[in-house]
A = this chain, B = another copy of it.
Amino acid sequence: MSTSGLNMSRRIRRTPYTDRVEQVGVRGFSVVNHMLLPKAFQSTVEEDYWHLREHVQMWDVSCQRQVELKGPDAARLVQWMTPRDISKCEVGQCFYVPLVDEMGGMINDPVLLKLADDHFWLSIADSDVLLWAKGLALGAGMNVTVDEPDVSPLAVQGPKAEDLVASIFGEHVREIAFFRFGFVEFGGTQQLIARSGYSKQGGFEIYLKGGALGGALWDLIWEAGQAFNIAPGCPNLIERVEGGLLSYGNEFTRENNPLECGLAGYCNTDGSVDYIGLQALQKIKADGVQRKMRGVLFDGGPGPAVSKPWPITVGEKRVGQITTGAYSPRFKQNVGLSMIDKGHWELGADVVVHSSDGLKRQGKISTLPFPD
């Protein structure tokens, strides 16, 4: 089964936009960072996929909570948490930063926003980075405050996103480069807007500060969006797998290191930067990784949702598991993401995918993103 009932309670936090997504007919949620993430509306995942590629969507991604680090030791703490050299991050820039523990295991993979030399946000995936950062800071006696501000990102994604956002907030948003942020005026407040988002279709994320403004922001974009054929949406399963966008907790966990996740480009291991897990990553690099993140293209037509991983075999040997998969209407095949064991990760290699409907599906190892 791919969906079941979700029992609501205060602990599963609503967002500033939840009333609105209910009004437009949300049918299903996931839970990320103790908060609701809309995952299904009235249309199918495939309809949403085409719409996202052709028009513009508005996504309630409030669950991308911000962990705010502020104070004299803020930069030092950020650098301690990530293998990426953050001295190269400028104010106004977004940096994708793997966070690892002392074994090199992934703690999270947030986007870092540098607001000032002593002021950062970590826009996080699904783990309590707040507790990790606070624990490290308290333990080491660092002079930094760590908190979760009242900031709830709203994503505007799709090829028409720039025209829509410019029509509302002004032409200057067009000047914001990819993974950079600026500010827009909204209801007498200045709001941070970044050119970013969890799709490959382009767009922006508005980091709304002040949840009380959520309904008004939603309505403003919704109204202006009518001329652009806007629809409510959410990170699209097909589009994200095709684009090779990984999800913490799905494709990788604390059991995985960033080198095997394909994130070596974000890991400085030459010793010029010091951080938690440096020695572990140096050793993993020297020894060579034992598995690698890959795409798998496999046949057999549309299958059930991947609610628990699907084993991947070569002969009798299990060499991986599909952690997220979907039927691609463009490729007319299934696309999936998997760690693949050493010796079996060559591009084009043959594998068998054991889907939960009992089928054995012929597959081939692919690069990520899947080539168009």
With contact pairs A135-B139, A139-B136, A308-B14 given, residues A7 and B28 touching in the complex (Cβ less than 8 Å): yes
Partner of A132, one of B8, B22, B134: B134
Interface membership of A224, Cβ < 8 A: no
Least CB distance from A228 to B in Å reads 27
Does A79 count as interface, using CB distance less than 8 angstroms? no
**Does any Cβ of B come within 8 Å of A102's Cβ?**
yes
Q: Which residue of B lies closest to A101 (CB)?
A: B134
Cβ of B30 and Cβ of A4 under 8 Å apart?
no
Copies of this chain assembled into the complex: 2
Q: Which of B11, B32, B102, B131 contacts A107 (CB 8 A)?
A: B131
A9-B306, A135-B133, A139-B139 given; A4·B27 CB < 8 A: yes
Is the pair A129, B126 in contact by a Cβ cutoff of 8 Å? Answer: no
Asked if A44 CB lies within 8 Å of chain B CBs, one says no
- Selected contact of A27 from candidates B5, B22, B30, CB within 8 Å: B5
Expressed in whole angstroms, the Cα–Cα distance for A3 and B26 within the complex equals 12
Residues of the B chain whose Cβ atoms lie less than 8 Å from the Cβ of A250: 9-11
Please pick, from B7, B129, B323, the residue contacting A30 in the complex, using a CB distance under 8 A: B7
**Residues of B close to A142: CB separation below 8 A:** 139
Contacts of A307 in B (CB 8 A): 8-10, 14
| Assembly CA distance A72 to B26 (angstroms) | 51
- Is there a chain B Cβ closer than 8 Å to A286's Cβ? no
CB-CB < 8 A to A361: which residues of B?
A: none
Cα separation A288 to B84 with both chains bound (whole Å): 46
Contact partners of A249 in chain B: CB under 8 A: 9-11, 34
Binding site for B on A (CB under 8 A): 1-12, 14, 22, 26-32, 34, 39-40, 101-102, 107, 126-129, 131-142, 247-250, 276, 305-309, 323-324
